Structure 1
Amino acid sequence: MKNFTGRTAAITGAGSGIGRALAVRLAAQGCHLALSDINGDGLAATKALLAATGVEITTTIVDVADREQVEKWATDTAAYFEAVHLVFNNAGVAQGGSVTANSYADYEWVLAINLWGVIHGTKAFLPHLIRTGDGHIINISSVFGLQSQPATSAYNTSKFAVRGFTEALRQELDLLHNGVSATCVHPGGIRTEIVHTARVGHGFDELFGQAGHRVLDLFDSMLLTSPDKAAQTILHGIRRDARRILIGADARIIDWEQRLLPTAYQRLNTALITGLGALLARLPQRDRIPADAAADSPARSQDARSASSR
């Protein structure tokens, strides 16, 4: 798809981060927007940013883990705009903790949003894209969908699954020749709020040493790419009909590391982590939302791509 003018794009997780940045860039190019997020305040703020663009915009509070909500949103969007051309399954969440410390509920929560949210969005909108005859599905995975890291097994699982799902979908669409394509996006560290709203479980001190509770502060300091730059890279990739989009130098490094050291990277990671405690101990302490508080917050955004590096 070379031109976005006059097209209609549906974006999940549009209340902040990459979702908002995609909305801003697409609106500037004359693309109509159907925006959703679980965070109504963030969604309203995104719409306010676009008030002067002149494009048609709808906003809907949607929990992507709820299939019925996503299907209704897709049906309403197709009826309102008459055609849908782009679907960005961008909503996502982060969670940290060791496998031994994580609960079954932790895995269910992450997979319900990060994986099932993508499946729901794809399945709900795909028939409408096929009817349009010129569509593109963009699913946001992560560099953690290329290479696993300790203390993020739930997140790793969800992002590897998004990659597998999207790559299978792309091949099926290639065989069907129905005018619809699919792309898997692997962001590296993006400067969004996902780190600060992540659910952080137990097991960090066990894995990372005495300063394990500060691991997210170190990670936060490594988020180098802006959401706007991420959105620009994604839209450029769509124009090229790319099968895979890497965002950020860190994503490209991890991609090559995985290619060159498909299993040895695991030993490299554990060696680096062994010496990480001293560095983490020198970082200033930062207040963080406890896991139980984050879980109880009804306004927690499902933006994610920001979380991608996640």
Structure 2
Amino acid sequence: MKNFNGKVAVITGAGAGIGRALAIELARGGAQLALSGRNLDSVAETAALCEKEGAKVRAYQLDVTDRAAVYAHADEVVADFGKVNIVINNAGVSLTANIEDVSWDDFEWIFNINFWGTANGTKAFLPHVIASGDGHIANVSSMFGLVACPSQSGYSSSKFAMRAFTDALRQEMIIAEHQVGVSSVHPGMIKTDIAWKARASANRDRDALAANFDGLAKTTPEQCAQTILNGIKKNKPLILIGTDAKAMNWMQRLLGSGYMKPLTAQMRKEI
């Protein structure tokens, strides 16, 4: 995909953070935008910012865990825009809890949004992206979709599952000779409010965890969006965002399962 001019892009989790930055950057590139999120007011704010860039845009309220609603949304977007070229499954949440402490409700909550939300969006829009003749699907995983991290079992496992799902899809598109690029996106710590919206087990101070995240996050949503969109243009299978994500990737590539030793030592200091 050489550019985004005239392309129709679907973005979930578009009300703030990475999703909002992606929408604005795509608007500047001439894309038409179908933006969704659970909070319609926030998505409408993003849409207004995109309209200022001259984009055709519509805001939708959507719960990505509701499969029937996601399929209905896909049909509605095609009715509104006539086609779909790009789908960025960006909606996601975070959870901090050890396996012995995590509740089943919280475990299911994070998988329903991070993994099943991505699968729902991919399956619902895939026929339309294939039909466009020039399409791309990007699923936003995490650097913890590259390495597993203590206290992040729910988050890491949902993000690992997203990567496997996405990598399999890319290979299937190549075998079928469909003109659809597929990217697995792995941000490090991005300066968004995800940590403040996260869940944590009862024995952890969620606000302290969020404040610590804010202190460590160096990459802005705008930088993240630019990296993602450059990766889509180049049809990269793996898009790494931030020095932290790149370091995690190299650590697991060089050390194999041995990456757990230094990571465990570091996390022991922080937990």
Give 1:141's aligned residue.
Answer: 141
**Equivalent AA in structure 1 for residue 220 of structure 2:** S
- Larger displacement relative to structure 2 (125-134 or 266-275): 266-275
Q: Secondary structure at the match of 1:178?
A: coil
Matched, 1:238 2:232: yes
TM-score, length-normalised on structure 2? Answer: 0.96
Unmatched tracts of structure 2, length 5 or more: none
Cα distance, 1:189 vs. partner?
0.6
TM-score, length-normalised on structure 1? Answer: 0.84
Give 2:102's aligned residue.
Answer: 102
Residues 215, 54 of structure 1: alpha-carbon distance in 2 compared, 3 angstrom cutoff: closer
Whose RCO is larger (CA < 8 A, sep 6+)? 1
Residues 213, 33 of structure 1: alpha-carbon distance in 2 compared, 3 angstrom cutoff: closer
In the TM superposition, 1:69-218 aligns within 5 A as 69-204=69-204, 214-218=208-212
Give 1:293's aligned residue.
Answer: none
Query: What is the CA–CA distance in structure 1 between the aligned matches of 2:171 and 2:145, rounded to whole Å?
Result: 18
User: By percentage of residues, which structure has more helix?
Assistant: 2
Task: Say whether the 8 Å CA contact 1:33–1:56 is kept in structure 2.
Answer: yes
Query: What is the CA–CA distance in structure 1 between the aligned matches of 2:221 and 2:35, rounded to whole Å?
Result: 17
Aligned sequence identity (%): 46
Unmatched tracts of structure 1, length 5 or more: 206-211, 278-310
Query: What is the CA–CA distance in structure 2 between the aligned matches of 1:54 and 1:253, rounded to whole Å?
Result: 38
Residues 230, 213 of structure 1: alpha-carbon distance in 2 compared, 3 angstrom cutoff: closer
Query: What is the CA–CA distance in structure 1 between the aligned matches of 2:148 and 2:28, rounded to whole Å?
Result: 36
Q: Secondary structure at the match of 1:183?
A: strand
- Larger displacement relative to structure 2 (46-55 or 189-198): 46-55
Cα offsets for 1:245-284 (capped at 9, x unmatched): 000011111111111122222121222233336xxxxxxx
Cα offsets for 1:71-125 (capped at 9, x unmatched): 1111010111111100000000111111111111111100000000000000000
Query: What is the CA–CA distance in structure 2 between the aligned matches of 1:22 and 1:113, rounded to whole Å?
Result: 19
Q: How many aligned positions are there? A: 271
Query: What is the CA–CA distance in structure 2 between the aligned matches of 1:165 and 1:17, rounded to whole Å?
Result: 24
Task: Say whether the 8 Å CA contact 1:100–1:203 is kept in structure 2.
Answer: no
Give 2:241's aligned residue.
Answer: 247
Cα distance, 1:154 vs. partner?
0.5
Task: Say whether the 8 Å CA contact 2:94–2:194 is kept in structure 1.
Answer: yes
